A and B are shown apart, each in its own frame.
Chain A
Amino acid sequence: MRITELFEKGEFVLTAEVGPPKGVELDHLIKDAHEYLKTRVHALNVTDNQSSVMRTGSLATCKVLKDEGLLPIFQITCRDRNRIALQSDVLSAALLGIENLLLLTGDYTTLGDHPQAKPVFDLDSVSLIHAVKRLEEGFDIAGNAVDGAPPKFAKGAVVSPCSDSVDVQLAKMEAKVKAGCEYFQTQGVYEPEKFIKFMEQAKQFGVPVQLGLIIPKNVGMCRYMNANVAGVHVPDEMIKELQADKEKTKAGDTGVEICARLIKECKDYAQGVHIMSLGWENRIPEILDMAGIAPITPVV
């Protein structure tokens, strides 16, 4: 199922991010997905060599999850593949019955564990969305006809509502919508007022937006994100909140409370929530419970 169908039905769409391991043992990932995510989120984003660190591929992992009765979202970045490989992988996804895509430019190679690698960036997020749309129309990006029935996807992308240059982000968002983007997931939000203000401007595009959340695990992580992660800002009060009860924070409870509160504050302005738990998949049910979001009936 395409998650755009859920948005169209007016569902509050819930997704979570999972990262393939560096290796082919997926047992742990599958077990967590069944245990904590299957009845709590509609779909699972599978990252594509996240942070430029080489791992098992997103597409293969998507297929494994699909066979497990879960609904995967195939994340594709432009860092490692030229336009031929990107389009080929999009067709391969269609062949395997993967219908949800999240199309990204991707982190630069030097940020990861193969800094010597050649950065590709032949296409970018906008031209990749365009390329997928062309495939859906029966043509590749060079204008050649594609044989048989064209594929159909839910085409998603990302945007940073709390970026320090939100006007530039909105311009890029508009370009993505124009290229064919049908839903957005945001970068991690910690400032509801900024998100709400952003949504007031973004609603003109008429495309659903899922509030992005990164579970704040501890003070060190927040400080690291403030210094290094684009579009993410954890306010001082929140850092103080994490500092206030060290035992509670260590147990992960403060981070869970913060996420639940963010969902409550932003819920009326978003069309869904996307949780990036970075290994804390087991805390997602608590977050959703605390935010008053009931379990779902799994869709495939």
Chain B
Amino acid sequence: MLITQLKSKETIEALAQGKTVIINCHGCKEVYFAEHEADELQKDLNGVTQIITTDYICNPDNLKLQLLKHTDVINAADTILVFSCGVGVQTVAAQFEGKRVYSCCDTYPLPGFQGVTPLNVDCGQCGECYLNGTGGICPITACSKSLLNGQCGGAKEGMCEVDKEMECGWERIYRKLEKLNKLDNMKYDAPKVRNYHNPNAEEPTI
């Protein structure tokens, strides 16, 4: 089981730019997902061309199938907002390489079942989702050192110093941001420091 919590309304409003498609994932029944709050918030967003509510978007084959009938509207969109756990956001971002894909939720850690999260994307359930600044590639799980401020310099020909079979997560992030014309994302005002305490995580009210 895991818990997601919506990012603030101001954050989500700032993310919705141009023609926006929303994808809600109601896959794992065990997930605490703020469904009602998400519905209310989505009503007020500008530029929304389609709201798609589906399930198990963490599975790329399933995602592809579910979104087939929405191909035209997604192709025409500037932004895709995803309301799901971190795995769902990464799967959508990988599926739509050239699109701005943003996470509207923070995924909090809880022990045990982690939804249907097979394959090679992973969510660190850090509770402060970084995917919006990193082109939908998670620095917590794609970087061996879980670095937040760019590559460590240990990569050789793009491969990680820890696992030579694994691509350097920060090189992947850099190349993706380059493609999205979003390299300015790496110019933070203050370096990012992870919060291991997660004081904002609310108790689930299931």
Contact = CB atoms under 8 A, between A and B. Distances in A.
Contacts of B154: 105, 107-108, 230
B191 A230 contact: no
B146 interface: yes
Nearest to A227: B156
A165 B154 CA distance: 11
Interface in B124-168: 144-158, 161-162
Contacts of A174: 187
A171 B186 CA distance: 7
A126 B191 CA distance: 6
Chain B contact patch, size range: 20 to 34
Contacts of B155: 165, 230
B153 A108 contact: no
B162 A108 contact: yes
B183 interface: yes
Interface string B6-32: 000000000000000000000000000
Interface string A200-224: 0000000000000000000000000
Chain A contact patch, size range: 35 or more
B193 A127 contact: yes
B153 A171 contact: no
B168 to A, nearest CB: 8
B171 A105 contact: no
A230 B145 contact: no
A175 B145 contact: no
B174 A121 contact: no
B190 interface: yes
A108 B171 contact: no
A171 B183 contact: yes
8 contacts: A107-B154, A111-B162, A127-B149, A159-B153, A163-B153, A167-B174, A171-B183, A230-B156
Given A158-B153, A171-B174, A187-B153, 19 more contacts: A83-B193, A105-B153, A108-B154, A122-B194, A122-B196, A124-B191, A126-B191, A130-B193, A159-B153, A164-B156, A164-B157, A165-B155, A165-B174, A171-B150, A174-B187, A175-B191, A178-B188, A228-B156, A231-B153
What are the nearest 10 A-B pairs in CB distance?
A126-B149, A172-B150, A127-B191, A105-B152, A121-B145, A126-B191, A130-B191, A108-B162, A124-B147, A168-B174
